[in-house]
């Protein structure tokens, strides 16, 4: 009997083919104890892994029952490549099921904004998405799901209702699943925020495979998730969360350092606060995005600060 291939990235395969191999491993009655842990690691480090794994699973379930699941334990690296190629090919072509013809597009459509730019667009199912500054996401639609990978930044999604195809947004480590819903997702280096305005969404850690560990958000709630920590849920005013759609930011008692970090997202002219005492000053008010000079003038006047400006930097000091 040939051993199961090494539980890591499958050599010489693209991601779609790897997904087919992982699907076969997980469906095997004789999978190794460490298979699920290795699969979770693969999901965490591989772009588009969840979408392609789901597609491979759909194709597998459409195949005739003559293909036995337990064959997975006999797969050698060579056999894996052959089986994965079949799965990848099947997932990439037009599929005919029950008299219907469905195009399965495994190539993503990429949308991106630069600093200070915002964009709104209609997706192929009439869902609407609005991208905030410095945001990048990719969109893939298939017969069974609508999938968005948010690489960085922030976006509001107004999802067209389709019970047969859940709308899924993934960040680096979180997965949001919705039906007919309006919600926001923001992915920063240290945390992910999900705010629900209407409908219902489920939030879960991307590497979790159990169906019992998701968090259901209610309209008006916002979940903030940091790596390795329990999500924190609050209910901020929606007009504050969505102020950027009016080209504004709203601060209520945040530190100057926090306010500067937020405003720097919208402008190539960066504000710098090196003094810790200055950085801890409190800020409240409504400010225009992309207008760093106006914010700096306001802070200098209110707190008696000095301003020093070079070509692309404004520094606030005592």
Quick check: is 165 in a domain?
Answer: yes
Of 68, 103, 138, the residue at which a domain comes to its end is 103
Q: Residue 60: what pLDDT?
A: 66
> Count of domains in the chain?
3
Integer Cα distance of 306 and 255 in angstroms: 18
124 and 196, same structural domain? yes
143 and 232, same structural domain? yes
123 and 93, same structural domain? no
CA 30 centroid distance within chain: 33
Q: Residue 3: what pLDDT?
A: 40
- Could you please report the per-residue DSSP string of the chain? -PPPPPSSSPTT--HHHHHHHHHHHHH-TT--TTHHHHHHHHHHHSTTHHHHHHHHHHHHHHS-TTS-GGGGGG--HHHHHHHHHHHHHHHHSEEEETTEEEE---SPEEEE--TT--EEEE-TTS-EEEE-TT-EEEEEE-SS-EEEEEEEEEEEEEPPP-TTS-EEEE-SSEEEEESS-EEEEEE-SSEEEEEEEES-EEEEETT---TT--EEEPTT-EEEEETTS--EEE---HHHHTGGGGTEEEEEEEEHHHHHHHHGGG-SSEEE---HHHHT-EEEEEEETT-HHHHHHHHHHHHT-EEEE-SSEEEEE-
234 and 114, same structural domain? yes
Of 103, 134, 168, the residue at which a domain comes to its end is 103
| Mean pLDDT to the nearest integer, 140-157 | 93
Portion of the chain with pLDDT greater than 70, in percent: 78
| Mean pLDDT to the nearest integer, 285-308 | 97
pTM for this predicted structure: 0.73
- Which segment of 8-17, 135-144, 178-187, 200-209 scores lowest on mean pLDDT? 8-17
Residue reference for tokens 């334990």 = 73
Quick check: is 145 in a domain?
Answer: yes
| Mean pLDDT to the nearest integer, 55-66 | 60
Integer Cα distance of 233 and 63 in angstroms: 42
pLDDT (tens digit, 9 = 90+) per residue, 104-140? 445 789 999 999 999 999 999 999 999 999 999 999 9
- Which segment of 99-108, 122-131, 156-165 scores lowest on mean pLDDT? 99-108
- Which segment of 58-62, 226-230, 269-273, 296-300 scores lowest on mean pLDDT? 58-62
In this structure, what CATH number is given to the domain that contains residue 294?
A: 3.55.50.30
262 and 234, same structural domain? no
Integer Cα distance of 63 and 169 in angstroms: 28
Domain enclosing residue 79, as ranges: 15-103
Which residues does residue 102 pair with via DSSP β-bridges, in sequence order?
95
Burial of 79 (C-beta count, 10 Å sphere; 0-12/13-18/19+): middle
Integer Cα distance of 202 and 200 in angstroms: 7
Higher pLDDT, 210 or 115: 115
Output the CA torsion 91→94→100→102 (10° steps).
Answer: 70
Cβ count within 10 A of residue 4: 18
Q: Residue 186: what pLDDT?
A: 98
Name which of 82, 73, 81 is nearest 11 in CA terms.
Answer: 81
């Amino acid at each position: 009997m040939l051993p199961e291939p090494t539980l890591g990235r499958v050599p010489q395969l693209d991601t779609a083919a790897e997904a087919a191999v992982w699907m076969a491993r997980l469906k095997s009655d004789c999978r190794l104890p460490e298979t699920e842990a290795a699969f979770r690691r693969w999901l965490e480090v591989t772009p588009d892994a969840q979408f392609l794994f789901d597609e491979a699973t759909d194709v597998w379930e459409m195949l005739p029952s003559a293909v036995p699941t337990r064959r997975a334990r006999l797969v050698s690296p060579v056999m894996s490549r052959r089986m994965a190629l079949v799965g990848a090919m099947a997932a990439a072509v037009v599929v005919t099921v029950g008299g219907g013809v469905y195009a399965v597009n495994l190539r993503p459509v990429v949308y991106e904004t630069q600093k200070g730019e915002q964009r709104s667009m209609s997706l192929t199912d009439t869902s609407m998405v609005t991208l905030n500054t410095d945001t990048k996401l990719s969109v893939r639609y298939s017969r069974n799901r609508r999938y968005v990978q948010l690489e960085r930044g922030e976006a509001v999604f107004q999802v067209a209702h389709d019970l047969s195809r859940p709308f899924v947004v993934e960040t680096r480590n979180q997965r949001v699943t919705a039906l007919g819903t309006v919600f926001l997702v923001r992915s920063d280096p240290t945390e992910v925020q999900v705010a629900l305005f209407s409908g219902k969404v489920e939030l879960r850690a991307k590497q979790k495979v159990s169906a019992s560990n998701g968090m259901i958000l209610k309209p008006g709630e916002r979940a903030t998730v940091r790596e390795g920590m329990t999500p924190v849920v609050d209910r901020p005013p929606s007009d504050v969360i969505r102020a950027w759609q009016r080209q504004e930011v709203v601060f209520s008692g945040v530190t100057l350092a926090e306010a500067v970090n937020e405003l720097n997202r919208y402008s190539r002219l960066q504000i710098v606060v090196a003094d810790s005492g200055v950085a801890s000053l409190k800020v409240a008010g409504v400010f225009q995005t992309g207008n760093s000079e106006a914010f700096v003038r306001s802070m200098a006047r209110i707190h008696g600060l000095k301003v020093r400006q070079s070509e692309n930097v404004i520094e606030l000091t005592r």
